[in-house]
Amino acid sequence: MPLFADPAIFPSFNELPSSSTPPAPTADWFLLAQIKEDMTITKPTAIVRDRSGAEFAVTFEDGDHRGLGQGGVRFRKGHTLVVPRATRTDRGEGKKPIVRVPPGEGAGVKILPAGLEQVFEIGAVLDGIEGAGRGKRCAACGKEQEEEEEEGAEHLLMRCTGCGVVAYCSKACQVQGWSELGHKANCKVIRSIKEIWS
């Protein structure tokens, strides 16, 4: 999974390449922005805020935003819009720049069912769980998965059946992780993140 703190992969609005200068075809990046308002009148438009606090509009040029959910979607305030290979469109003096989703690319845009801050927090947790060189740990107590040398078998942590990422060493830790430590709120978001970046 990608590291959400990496500005090369997740640039802020002001770090986006300009639409007047085509970006390199090999680079992949994603704009993450929290939906503040649905301004759809004639074509789908959302007012969003990025990680730097910049507010701007995202418009779907051909009205194609069907890829955002089952049978079409409403822009839900507080959710996070994910726009792959977004570019900033400068519209001339006196007008704010925007992000335009080109015709036919609306299906590539996704929505994470959480606010931007929560997405970044979950990203940091996921990096801690799946980051290179890190051992597997219980998400509640921190106990590391160990190999039992005598029997040659591993003491396996039990993975959450919802997201398949977070793991626990016991039923008690799973219950604590679900209710007290907030996995109930994060499980659906982690599943959405996995669907986009797995």
Would you say 190 and 126 are in contact if contact means Cβ atoms under 8 Å apart? yes
Is residue 59 a part of any domain in this protein?
A: yes
Is residue 33 a part of any domain in this protein?
A: yes
Residue 25 neighbours by CB distance under 10 Å? 7
Structure confidence by residue, pLDDT tens digits, 140-163: 888 887 654 444 445 678 889 999
- For 108, the domain range is 13-115
Would you say 91 and 128 are in contact if contact means Cβ atoms under 8 Å apart? no
DSSP state of 67: G
Which residues in the chain land under pLDDT 70? 23-26, 63-74, 128-135, 146-155
Cα–Cα distance, 143 to 56 (Å, whole number): 44
Phi, psi for 190 (deg, rounded to 5): -60, -40
pLDDT, position 67: 46
Q: CATH no. for residue 72?
A: 2.40.50
